[in-house]
Amino acid sequence: MVNTPQEQKRKAALAALEVIESGMKLGLGTGSTAAFMVRGLGQLYREHKLNDLICVPTSVATRNLAQEQGLPLTTINDVDRLDLTIDGTDEFDPQLNLIKGGGGALLREKIVASLSDRFVIIADASKEVDQLGRFPLPVEVVPFAWKTVARHIENSGIQALLRASMNPGDPYKTDQGNYILDLQTGGMPDLPKMKWMLEGLPGVVEHGLFLDMADEVFLGKEDRVERITKTN
């Protein structure tokens, strides 16, 4: 059987479940890989192999899926810290820096990850890169100023494309009602500089650079799941 990216995602997601313990407060990521994890977690919870969990979803889609699985949910406002968050990624580099936001949940994902004692990434082999930037960098912006933000970014030589929704002619909207600009960087050799530039633009709500946040990656490959741990 051919080991497809979907199968690699599934294997990585299920392998990561082994780091979850009963009694944990968990952040549940968003996206196709995270969905495998949520379904697997739901099965373990229903079979009473994991108990006394509290889960914080990072999107409406993940909340709906977790509810279908019967997982106990709360909001980020009702917890001080989380023990663990498991989420997918669009890219990761050798230092475990990430690009996230392809699924549009980067703001909530970053908030939840920042409150977690441990941040674990699950991914298929295509997400491993030598340098971030092949995947477009998502930037969440307020609708009021999206063109202004886009002009500032494009003045630095980077194309900024407004993400479209499934409805022709309508912009994609995040769970917060914001727009997303997808930056065509072609590679980012200076990640701190990019981060500094985006965070200095009025109208930017959040960006998809997750620098120095991930602790470990479960990477699905053709013949195995590799665990890559952050090295100091």
- Within the chain, strands assigned E span 25-28, 54-57, 84-87, 91-92, 98-99, 119-124, 137-141, 159-162, 179-184, 204-207, 209-210, 216-220, 225-229
The answer to whether 87 is a known ligand-binding residue is yes
Q: Residue 40 above 50 pLDDT? A: yes
pLDDT, residue 167, reads 86
User: What residues contact 84, with CB distance under 8 A and at least 6 apart?
Assistant: 19, 20, 24, 25, 26, 27, 116, 117, 118, 119, 120
- Rounded to an integer, the average pLDDT of 72-82 is 97
The domain segmentation of the chain, as residue ranges, is: 5-129+211-222, 137-206
Is residue 127 part of an annotated ligand binding site? yes
pTM to 2 decimal places? 0.95
Q: How confident is the model at residue 55 (pLDDT cuts 50, 70, 90)?
A: very high
Mean pLDDT within 90-105: 97
The model's confidence at residue 2, banded by pLDDT at 50, 70 and 90, is low
Task: Determine the distance from the C-alpha atom of residue 46 to the mean position of all C-alpha atoms in its chain, rounded to a whole number.
Answer: 26
Two structure tokens written together for 145: 């100023």
| Whether the domain at 5-129+211-222 and the domain at 137-206 fall into the same CATH topology | no
User: Is 101 among the annotated ligand-binding positions?
Assistant: yes
Which burial class, exposed, middle or buried, applies to 122 when counting CB atoms under 10 A from its CB (0-12, 13-18, 19+)? Answer: buried
Q: What is the CATH number of domain 5-129+211-222?
A: 3.40.50.1360
Mean per-residue pLDDT of the chain = 96
The type of residue at 219 is: L
* Confidence tier at 150 by pLDDT (50, 70, 90): very high
Q: Are 99 and 90 in contact (CB under 8 A)?
A: yes
DSSP string, 34-80: HHHHHHHHHHHHHTTSS-S-EEEESSHHHHHHHHHTT--B--GGG-S
| pLDDT cut 70: percent of the chain above it | 99
For domain 137-206, is the CATH number 3.30.300.130?
Answer: no
Say if residue 33 carries a ligand binding annotation: yes
pLDDT at 1: 46
Give the containing element (helix H, strand E) for 152.
Answer: helix 146-155
Which residues are designated catalytic? 109
Return the SS3 of 212. coil
Residue 38, pLDDT above cutoff 90: yes
